[in-house]
Structure 1
Amino acid sequence: MDLLNAIRSFIKVVEAGSLAGGARSLGVSPAAVSQTVARLERHLQARLLSRTTRSMTLTPAGTLYYERVRHIERELDLAGEALSTPDSEPHGRLCIASTSAFGRHVLAPLIPAFSERYPRLSIELLTTDRKVDHEREGVDVSVRIDAQLDDHLLARHLARIPFICCASPGYLAAAGHPATPEALREHRCLAFRYPVNGRFLRWGFVRDGGRLEAEFDRVLVSDDIDALAQMAVRDGGIARLAEFIARPHLDAGRLVPLFEIGQPGQAYAQTEPMDIYLCVSDRSAMTHKVRLLLEYLQQHLISSCPRQT
């Protein structure tokens, strides 16, 4: 029996919460995973999983075994990385976690070229707005915004994302143009709620060297920034969107920027940008392949997400 493969299958099943989920992450059939776990149980002479037609749970022995082996795959990867030199070709698995919108619009278009540059890497992109556990979920690196930073993670700055306050021509024709950020309280605004903690994303502005936060009462709310963009395009109200989401709609005339220099009847106010970071669990996790990813993203995000002052 291939013991390491059997342990890996067991770990994936536990992390996925089902045989089917573990099989999907491994790219094999549920029957194959079930047989592998059964062979591991026979080898250990202990039942690790309690399985029924509808559910799967860890037995006490399975819980103990999982806690002892769940780090094995990561430790093997780190051991291999330790033998790599800066000039060696990176290899193995690289799991990247990101917020849904940033992963969908920014990382996904960049990853194919990175994969082509380093073909021995097996790359997985996990896009989710929930809190990700690096160790338990086998995540090598996560891309996070300020609100998601964790004291237990090592963070490296990636880029500063410009934001744009905007609305559709139809909405502005009906409701009028707000002259200042303070006037937003008289408009219907589209607010983003963080899925992790339920808080609203604050609307910060920089004007005359000082910072102010817009307040508003009438809102449409979503925990998906793409949904808010679609609401804005369809005359739903005023939105505060990352430029990488707003730009296609601005270029097509579906949305109009607000508070920019030279706009008649409006006072200039810069929409506050947002910093994003690349995070790893600790210094030992800043491996050769992660450093290459960091350098690659910094290089490409500088041009697509210019730093604002």
Structure 2
Amino acid sequence: MDHMSGIVVFKRAAETLSFAEAGRQLGISASAVGKAIARLEESLGLPLFHRSTRSMRLTHEGELFLARCQRILNELVEAEAELAISRTTPAGRLRVSMPVVGMLLMPVLSEFMHKYPEVQLDIDFCDRIVDVIEDGFDVVMRTGEADDSQLITRTLGHYSYVVVGSPAYFARHGVPATPEDLATHACLQHRFTETGRLRRWLFMRDGAKFEVELPSTAIVNALEPLIALAERDFGLICVPHFAVSAQLANGSLVAVLREFEEDRIPFRALWPSNRMMLPKVRVFVDFMNQNLFSES
């Protein structure tokens, strides 16, 4: 910082060719200007000015150094202006971590991209636990509870898992009346890529959670193929409500066992508490809050 302040003083002195005038413009004494120039010349190992009792002019090296200093300081001014704009206008790359289930939110993410074209989304879909700060994410979106004093948390909405199947499947195999009836049905299961475990089908009865032993007619590690298989009458799936909202609306899938659904699950946005909330983060979180699960 001392070196940078010396450059600022030098630039002003070089442009005015007067220590006194440079000092007046900078709000310091002519003596302070002279000392700053002397320290800079000592650091560079060469003189920047030819000085006499009557006049002062730049050396050849001083002229070269002034040209560089002017470019550097102009770059700093432009950088400050860009940062000032970024504090008020949503723009730039936005690094977001989302669970794999978030891939099914692409219509909402696409709407965000249309509304804020100056924000470049950089999304990492994964179910592993990420370190928001160490991994350099601006926002992390996760399901379930969150407890980290280093992060600010905002609940964007809630969703539930529903058991669905096609009308043709139910016409052939009947409609399960209780979760225990699923033992005789074709169950299409989801395997988590990160852990290799099957997702549990949890239900509620009399305020208590429970699960039943299910057959595994097919196992898939992504939700989109599961939904496609269910639409093609191969069996039942248990997926987030928002993942099949379109299919439920058009009738290609039908939800069953709704009275046994487990508690609704929170979907949250998290970001570092020690950072200023940039406009690109604010508008993203606000947009997700307003548009996620609107049909759930």
TM-score by length of 2: 0.61
Q: 1:140 to 1:166 in 2, by over 3 A?
A: same
Extract unaligned runs of 5+ from structure 2. 1-78
Q: Find the aligned partners of 2:143 and 2:205 in 1 and give their Cα distance.
A: 23
- Counterpart residue type for residue 93 of structure 1: R
**Which residue in 2 is equivalent to 1:173?**
171
SS at match of 1:304: coil
- Counterpart residue type for residue 104 of structure 2: H
- Counterpart residue type for residue 119 of structure 2: L
**Which residue in 2 is equivalent to 1:146?**
144
Q: Find the aligned partners of 1:192 and 1:285 in 2 and give their Cα distance.
A: 39
- Aligned-residue offset at 1:242: 1.5
- Counterpart residue type for residue 97 of structure 1: S
Contact kept, 8 Å, 1:192 with 1:225, in 2: the verdict is yes
**Which residue in 2 is equivalent to 1:227?**
225
**Which residue in 2 is equivalent to 1:94?**
94
SS at match of 2:90: coil
Q: Find the aligned partners of 1:152 and 1:87 in 2 and give their Cα distance.
A: 25
SS at match of 2:195: coil
TM-score by length of 1: 0.58
Q: 1:282 to 1:215 in 2, by over 3 A?
A: farther
Q: Find the aligned partners of 1:111 and 1:237 in 2 and give their Cα distance.
A: 30
**Which residue in 2 is equivalent to 1:273?**
264
Larger Rg: 2
**Which residue in 2 is equivalent to 1:290?**
281
- Aligned-residue offset at 1:237: 1.7
**Which residue in 1 is equivalent to 2:212?**
214
Contact kept, 8 Å, 1:204 with 1:211, in 2: the verdict is yes
Question: C-alpha offsets along residues 96-121 of structure 1, whole Å, 9 cap, x if unaligned?
Answer: 2222332x332x32334434544443
- Counterpart residue type for residue 175 of structure 2: H
Q: Find the aligned partners of 2:108 and 2:184 in 1 and give their Cα distance.
A: 40
- Aligned-residue offset at 1:229: 1.1
After TM superposition, the structure 1 stretch with the greater mean CA deviation from structure 2, 182-191 or 135-144, is 135-144
Question: C-alpha offsets along residues 76-100 of structure 1, whole Å, 9 cap, x if unaligned?
Answer: xxx98xx769982133221222223
Contact kept, 8 Å, 1:97 with 1:128, in 2: the verdict is yes
- Counterpart residue type for residue 281 of structure 2: V
- Aligned-residue offset at 1:165: 0.8
Question: C-alpha offsets along residues 189-225 of structure 1, whole Å, 9 cap, x if unaligned?
Answer: 1222221222222222233443332331344222101
Contact kept, 8 Å, 1:166 with 1:238, in 2: the verdict is yes
Question: C-alpha offsets along residues 236-285 of structure 1, whole Å, 9 cap, x if unaligned?
Answer: 2211122222222233332221124xxxxxxx323543321112244427
Contact kept, 8 Å, 2:187 with 2:235, in 1: the verdict is yes
- Aligned-residue offset at 1:160: 0.6
Give the alignment of 1:130-145 within 5 angstroms: 130-135=128-133, 137-145=135-143
- Aligned-residue offset at 1:151: 5.1
Extract unaligned runs of 5+ from structure 1. 1-78, 261-267
**Which residue in 2 is equivalent to 1:105?**
104
**Which residue in 2 is equivalent to 1:237?**
235
SS at match of 2:284: helix
Q: Find the aligned partners of 2:277 and 2:201 in 1 and give their Cα distance.
A: 34
- Aligned-residue offset at 1:132: 4.3
Contact kept, 8 Å, 2:242 with 2:293, in 1: the verdict is no
Give the alignment of 1:115-134 within 5 angstroms: 115-134=113-132
Q: Find the aligned partners of 1:293 and 1:258 in 2 and give their Cα distance.
A: 34
- Counterpart residue type for residue 270 of structure 1: E
SS at match of 1:101: helix
Q: Find the aligned partners of 1:256 and 1:204 in 2 and give their Cα distance.
A: 18
Contact kept, 8 Å, 1:140 with 1:285, in 2: the verdict is no
- Counterpart residue type for residue 253 of structure 1: G
* Count of matched residue pairs: 215
In the alignment, does 2:195 pair up with 1:204? no
Q: 1:140 to 1:208 in 2, by over 3 A?
A: same
Q: 1:152 to 1:184 in 2, by over 3 A?
A: farther
- Counterpart residue type for residue 164 of structure 1: V
Q: 1:193 to 1:214 in 2, by over 3 A?
A: same
